[in-house]
Amino acid sequence: MSSIKTFKPKTEEECASIILEGSGFEIQGGGTRAIGKLDGVERNILSTSAMSGVIDYEPAEMVMIAKAGTSVADIEIALKKGGQRMVFEPLDYRSLLGTKGKPTIGGLIASNASGPRRFVAGACRDSFLGARFVNGKGDIIKAGGRVMKNVTGLDLIKLLAGSWGTLATMTEVTFKVVPEVETESTFVLHGLSNEKAAQAMAAAMATSCEVTGAAHLPENIAVGFKELAGKSATLLRLEGFEKSVKLRVEKLQAILSAFGEQSVLNDKQTKSVWADIRDVKPFADGTEMPIWRVSVAPMVGHKLISELGIENAFFDWQGGLVWFKMDDEPNAERVRTAIAKVGGGHATLVRASVQQRLSAQVFQPENAAVTAISKRIREQFDPSGKFFTGRMG
């Protein structure tokens, strides 16, 4: 290609024509999640942002159908009117990555964006019911439907969630939603070490209190949260009817009393703190210092940080999701060696400089068997290699 072009089709027919006639496409929604983007590598941009709008939404059915380029903000406005929400609590990378634009519903699904509620409510792909998309041959395909049971093509659409636009261009998505809760509160334990926090979160999850968020912020991270009084904080979120939440908080206070100092955050404070945890605000510092997102078994997250000797880190998903910042280089080999040593996991280099992203493997390397399967899947979706796969390398 002699130059980079940006295409913004307004219909899926136009999208299919562009794909059929061109090549080397990087698929974008709002352009806010360019984690694996390789600057300096020439490719065309195919944006879904002009294919926007909610197509169908009936709150009683708890299902929404929207064009892939519909902004998340517009989705949330419509859901709020219906008293509902997306249960997978999608994170917004803009503050962390310094990107502009507006996140889109197609972008959420393509990146399988899942927030703090993921460990109890499932990932974004678990709410994904159906899609219309254009493959690398320019075919317009419909798969899935409005319900989970007996949905033809369900496995097919699950492949699109987390594929980062390397298999097809989604033009329309169908996903399930859930009722909004009456209130939420956060029970906090202060002053715990990373190891003790893991034990406290495990104890909380073993109760019948229905915890929907479990995170630990060491002191150097917690100090940036005005709600946490500058001490390390182990946070356990409870949601539901006000009376139920109050009783469950009291139960946790009694069960976890041996762990030390406690406090409780109200609804407003809870929303603020968990939004910042979700969007990785502690590391949204305007720099390009390397940021890793690592998923491991919940009880070994603290062991990974100890093995790496990292200070700038915090834990979500009951300790199973670890966010940490490196001081200089990504040190991908060192990170993945440490992960293997604590039992295995999955590491993604979410932020780094251009040169670092060009030299480091951004996504977790696949083993030979998975690589072979991935290759066969791409050959079926995109036999001519129309879609740019730089994000996955």
CATH code assigned at 312: 3.30.70.100
In this structure, the answer to whether residues 23 and 158 fall within a common structural domain is yes
Q: Does 150 lie in the same domain as 49?
A: yes
Buried b or exposed e, range 21-60, using 16+ CB within 10 angstroms: eeebbbbbbbbbbbbbbbeeeebbbbbbbebbebeebeee
pLDDT of residue 100: 87
Last residue in a domain, options 258, 278, 298: 278
Question: What's the start-to-end Cα distance of the chain, in Å?
Answer: 21
Exposed / middle / buried, residue 206 (Cβ in 10 Å: 0-12, 13-18, 19+) = exposed
Domain boundary among 245, 260, 278: 278
- Res. 186: pLDDT tops 70: yes
Domain boundary among 230, 246, 278: 278
pLDDT digit string, tens, across residues 309-363: 999 999 999 999 999 999 899 999 999 999 999 999 999 999 998 888 888 888 8
Domain that holds residue 67: 1-180+365-393
21 pLDDT band (50/70/90 cuts)?
Answer: very high
Task: For residue 91, give the DSSP letter.
Answer: -
On the question of pLDDT at 152 being above 70, the answer is no
Task: Give the mean model confidence (pLDDT) for residues 230-245.
Answer: 96
Residues 84 and 111 placed together within one structural domain of the fold: yes
Average pLDDT, the chain: 91
User: Whole-angstrom Cα distance, residue 35 to residue 347?
Assistant: 13
CA distance 154 to 130: 7
Q: What is the CATH number of the domain that holds 219?
A: 3.30.70.2190
Same domain, 157 and 27: yes
Cα 391 to Cα 140: distance, rounded to the nearest angstrom: 24
275 pLDDT higher than 70: yes
Q: What is the pLDDT of residue 73?
A: 96
Show the CA angle centred on residue 136, arms to residues 355 and 148, nearest 5°.
100
The mean pLDDT of 139-166, rounded to a whole number, is: 77
Domains held by the chain: number = 3
pLDDT at 37 over 70: no
Same domain, 101 and 169: yes
Tokens of 108: 């959420």
- Say yes or no: 296 and 375 in one domain: no
What pLDDT digit, counting tens, does each position of 46-75 carry? 999 999 999 999 999 999 999 999 999 999
Q: What is the CATH number of the domain that holds 96?
A: 3.30.465.10
Sheet holding 6-7, edge to edge: 6-7, 44-47, 25-28
Distance CA 387, CA 130 (A): 21
pLDDT at 41 over 90: no
pLDDT above 90 covers what percent of the chain? 76
Whether 336 and 256 share a structural domain: no
* Judgement on whether residues 295 and 176 belong to the same structural domain of the protein: no
pLDDT score at 345: 95
User: Quick one: pLDDT at residue 156?
Assistant: 80
Does residue 211 surpass a pLDDT of 50? Answer: yes
Q: Tell me: the pLDDT tens digits for 355-385?
A: 888 888 888 887 889 889 888 989 999 999 8
Q: Are residues 30 and 160 in the same domain?
A: yes
Give the pLDDT score at 150.
Answer: 46
CA–CA separation, 85 and 149 (whole Å): 21
- Shared-domain flag, residues 17 and 124: yes
- Verify that 41 and 87 share a domain, yes or no: yes
Same domain? For 25 and 38 the reply is yes
